[in-house]
Chains A and B, each alone.
Chain A
Amino acid sequence: MLKSTIVDPRVRLVPSKKLLEFLDSQKEYLPEVTENLAKIMKQKGFTLPLNIQIIKDKEVVCKRPKIDHPLLKKLTENIKFTSEKPLKNKPDSSKEKDNDEETPNEKKNFLLLSDLHWLNNTLVELRRQDHCQVFLHQLIDTCELILPENELKPRNPELEARCERLRAEQHNRDYLKMTKNVDAGLKHYPEDTISYQIKSLNKQIIAVVQFIFSVAAGFTFGFFGVNLMVGPLPFGFRILLGVIVALIIALAEMYFLAKKLHEYDEVLDAPKRKQQATTPVKRKVVAKPPTEGSQVQTLKPHAD
């Protein structure tokens, strides 16, 4: 299994029993309830009066509340921050938690941000009408916050096989490089010999020489050939003619040269690719005997 990007960044809260019981006790005062919450209540075995209006999540206004900073400062100015203090209220919250032991199945019920907003608005309303004096923080204190989770995705087996193969190839190459000067059989690896390099150089040189030769021939034709055919021409005109013919040939040749050199590059790459393609087959043989000595043995055919 592989972790992938978080798809759903929503915050979720697992509602505690206290919260649900509170809602149940206040249900006759509730004019409306969110869809999600209604579903959870139903699943938990609470009934809602029929006249309650169920609203969609989207209809709840979700705005970041304005924080009254002056009041906040005023309230907290005479408090010294101690980390021990908040621990004090933890025992009762943990007790609460023990009460509502939930099976993982039930954990699928979550309160979303819109529900919390609705809850906050409702509580404000209830407090105003003096039905209760409960605050949101008292209710959600006992809830469990669930952070956005990564989706688990199984890795594509094809990709896995491919990665495995590439990794093996890389290790193989590293190993070859390491053992090159130890193993006599690998010493004359074709890429290292002078003849191999000269051979590859030759092809390129021939292509370039060919280019120069044809340009020179073109010039000669323009300079002498036309003169011989048509009759005596002025010297300047002959030079111009030669240059023009040479240019035309150079242009055409250039195109072929570029094409050929490009092809040559691919040819250079090809044996490497071929060699890579064959390694996994060999690797399977290698994989079984894990000792290093046997690996050298199986790799030797490479050099031949």
Chain B
Amino acid sequence: MALHSAIKGKLISVIGDEDTCVGFLLGGVGEINKNRHPNFMVVDKNTAVSELEDCFKRFLKRDDIDIILINQNCAELIRHVIDAHTSPVPAVLEIPSKDHPYDASKDSILRRARGMFNPEDLVR
């Protein structure tokens, strides 16, 4: 445990497709902790939405995670959960994947900014 407390800094967790996960893991963000919980999740076309949602909520609960990276196409599937999460820590970043370019109109925070101006647009 002493070893664990000696490590300062928080983790970046990744939820995304194979390439995104492999890439960020190569970058060195991956970790499997003492309880054998990885901080990443590979989403493929067979992954159920509920699985995705559970994983996301689990990451939100972990206090050693500071940033959650999630592919925007995955984020679309669990949009209600992401919209519900407004606290700054952990920060949820919607990142583009290789086959889905970044779409500003889908990003939760930018939609919030947009809502400041014409809130009825969200209903539309």
Contact = CB atoms under 8 A, between A and B. Distances in A.
Interface of A: 3-6, 13, 87, 90, 93-94, 97, 140-145, 147-150
A140 to B, nearest CB: 7
B120 A94 contact: yes
B121 to A, nearest CB: 7
B117 to A, nearest CB: 4
Contact of A145 (B102, B103, B116): B116
B7 interface: no
Contacts of A144: 117-118, 121
B23 interface: no
B114 A4 contact: no
Nearest to B115: A145
B117 A141 contact: yes
Contacts of A4: 101
A142 B120 CA distance: 12
A148 B104 contact: yes
17 contacts: A3-B100, A3-B101, A5-B102, A87-B119, A90-B119, A93-B117, A94-B118, A140-B117, A145-B116, A145-B117, A147-B114, A149-B104, A149-B105, A150-B101, A150-B102, A150-B103, A150-B104
A36 to B, nearest CB: 19
Contacts of A140: 117
B104 A147 contact: yes
A97 B118 contact: yes
B77 to A, nearest CB: 17
B26 interface: no
A4 B105 CA distance: 14
Contacts of A3: 100-101, 103
B105 A145 contact: no
Contact of B118 (A5, A93, A149, A150): A93
B106 to A, nearest CB: 9
A150 B110 CA distance: 14
B86 to A, nearest CB: 10
A87 B123 CA distance: 14
A6 B102 contact: yes
Contacts of A6: 101-102, 104
A175 to B, nearest CB: 18
Contacts of A142: 117
A147 B101 contact: no
B116 to A, nearest CB: 7
B6 interface: no
A145 B120 contact: no
A5 B101 contact: yes
Contacts of B103: 3, 150
Specify which of B100, B105, B118, B121 lies most central, judged by the most chain A CB atoms within 10 Å of its CB.
B118
A143 B104 CA distance: 18
A299 to B, nearest CB: 25
Contact of A147 (B110, B116, B118, B120): B110
A3 B106 CA distance: 13
Nearest to B116: A145
B113 interface: yes
Contacts of B102: 5-6, 150
Contacts of A147: 104-105, 110, 113-114
Nearest to B106: A147
Contacts of A87: 119
